[in-house]
Amino acid sequence: MIKIPPIDLKRQYQQIKEETAAKVLEILNSGRYIGGEIVANFEQQFAEYIGVSQCVSCNSGTDALYLAMRALNIGEGDEVITTPFTFIATTEVIVRVGAKPVFVDIQSETFNLNVDAIESAITNKTKAIIPVHLFGQPVNMTQLMAIASKHNLFVIEDCAQATGAQWNHQRLGSIGDVGCFSFFPTKNLGAFGDGGALTTNNTSIAQSARMLKEHGSSVRYQHDRTGINSRLDTIQAGILQIKLPLLDDWNQQRREIAANYQELLAPIKQIETPLFSPENNSVWNQYTIKIRYKGKYLEESLSSYRDRIRQKLQENGISTMVYYPLPLHLQPVYQKFGYKKGKFPISERISSQVLSLPMFISLSLEEQQQIVYGLKDSLDSI
């Protein structure tokens, strides 16, 4: 039995092994491990790739979001609208600057923010919207930007899982006021450690973020604002320079893998496959299905049923992931905001249904067939 992990970074590494070793040795021999020409060159290359004038690198996608919030002067007393169905980093930064996260439920088909519900959540305290392009699937940015413009709100795109994706032929991260990216190793463009960046066409936002990430300093030992230490290491920038020219090809591989899944899974009525849409040029950071309840025990919760399927797959050598089992509005840390169970029913239901199948470049058709066969067997036996 061949074991299939949810993500296999070793296959990608084998494609760039020699070039990576040479780049790392070059940087080690240079003695310049923080900042310098390699980091500056990567920032320029990434800005050109996204289609913006400015890129500010930092040490994580979380810090990119935080720097964006600070650069836009979002803080105490402000409200920021976002989704409850995402990783907590999106809302951590809102709370960290003293603002309040205001949740809007998601669309069942896309897992993304329901743009139609945004206006009803806007108050006189609303300062910004953070759309999360979850699993690589773009939010409807045409509609969202129209709402933001109408109400004079900032838009911070959370592109952590969507590097290279487009909405109507425009790269995500170039549509809102700021785009925020993660270079965590499992992302479509991943480093060999932590890393992140924000992108913008606004020079003052970029200058502010650049100062904030360097301890609030633009002149050595002169500090104008309270900042943080958030820098992209030179080695990580060098690795990202090697990977960036390959990203579109790798994303195309992901699209082909997703299309294979769609075809292979079509006959299985107990699951619902993700949405394929012409205007949503997804880059499939995850391929996430929804489980429909067909178990033997009517009193069993959907999440328990889903977890038994996962266990059965694991026994057959197939590892899967659940993103995310508890929506943010129900997290213990956010109970102070007064959200109760039932407030966002779609997010709550989806969190009990979702199952992310293995997704990584070089995943073979034979492996996908093994995964789908194992899924069908698990569903039939439970």
pLDDT single digits (tens) 309-350: 999 999 999 999 999 999 999 999 999 999 999 999 999 999
pLDDT at position 357: 98
The CATH code belonging to domain 9-106+113-246 is 3.40.640.10
User: Is residue 189 pLDDT above 90, yes or no?
Assistant: yes
φ/ψ of residue 380, rounded to 5: -70, -25
Alpha helices in the chain (DSSP H): 9-30, 37-50, 61-71, 89-96, 141-151, 203-213, 234-243, 247-265, 302-315, 345-353, 365-381
Per-residue pLDDT, 278: 67
Contact 188, 137 (CB under 8 A): no
pLDDT for 3? 93
Q: Residue 381: pLDDT above 90?
A: no
Matching CATH topology for 9-106+113-246 and 247-381?
no
pLDDT at res. 245: 98
Question: Domain limits of the chain?
Answer: 9-106+113-246, 247-381
CB 223 within 8 A of CB 215: yes
For 271, other C-beta atoms within 10 Å of its C-beta total 20
**How does residue 300 score in pLDDT terms, banded at 50, 70 and 90?**
confident
How much is the pLDDT for 296?
Answer: 59
> Secondary structure of the chain: what % helix, strand, coil (to 5)?
45, 15, 40
Rounded to whole angstroms, the Cα distance separating 210 from 168 reads 30
Q: What is the DSSP letter of 127?
A: E
| pLDDT digit string, tens, across residues 47-67 | 999 999 999 999 999 999 999
Kind and range of the H or E run holding 58? strand 54-58
Residue 29 has pLDDT above 70, yes or no: yes
- For residue 234, give the 3-state DSSP assignment: helix
Considering the domain 247-381 in this protein, what is its CATH number?
Answer: 3.90.1150.10
Q: What is the mean pLDDT of the chain?
A: 95
Evaluate if residue 277 carries a pLDDT over 80: no
Q: What is the pTM of this model?
A: 0.96
Residues sharing a CB contact under 8 Å with residue 276, sequence separation 6 or more, in sequence order: 258, 259, 262, 282
State the first-to-last Cα distance of the chain, in angstroms, to the nearest integer: 21
Is residue 1's pLDDT more than 70?
Answer: no
pLDDT in tens, 116-168: 999 999 999 999 999 999 999 999 999 999 999 999 999 999 999 999 999 99
pLDDT in tens, 2-12: 899 999 999 99
Do 95 and 101 touch, CB atoms closer than 8 A? Answer: yes
In sequence order, what are the residues at sequence separation of 6 or more whose Cβ sits closer than 8 angstroms to the Cβ of residue 313?
319, 320, 374, 375, 378
- Cα–Cα distance, 120 to 105 (Å, whole number): 11
Instruction: Identify the pLDDT of residue 66.
Output: 98
Q: What is the C-alpha to C-alpha distance for residues 116 and 103, in angstroms, rounded to an integer?
A: 13
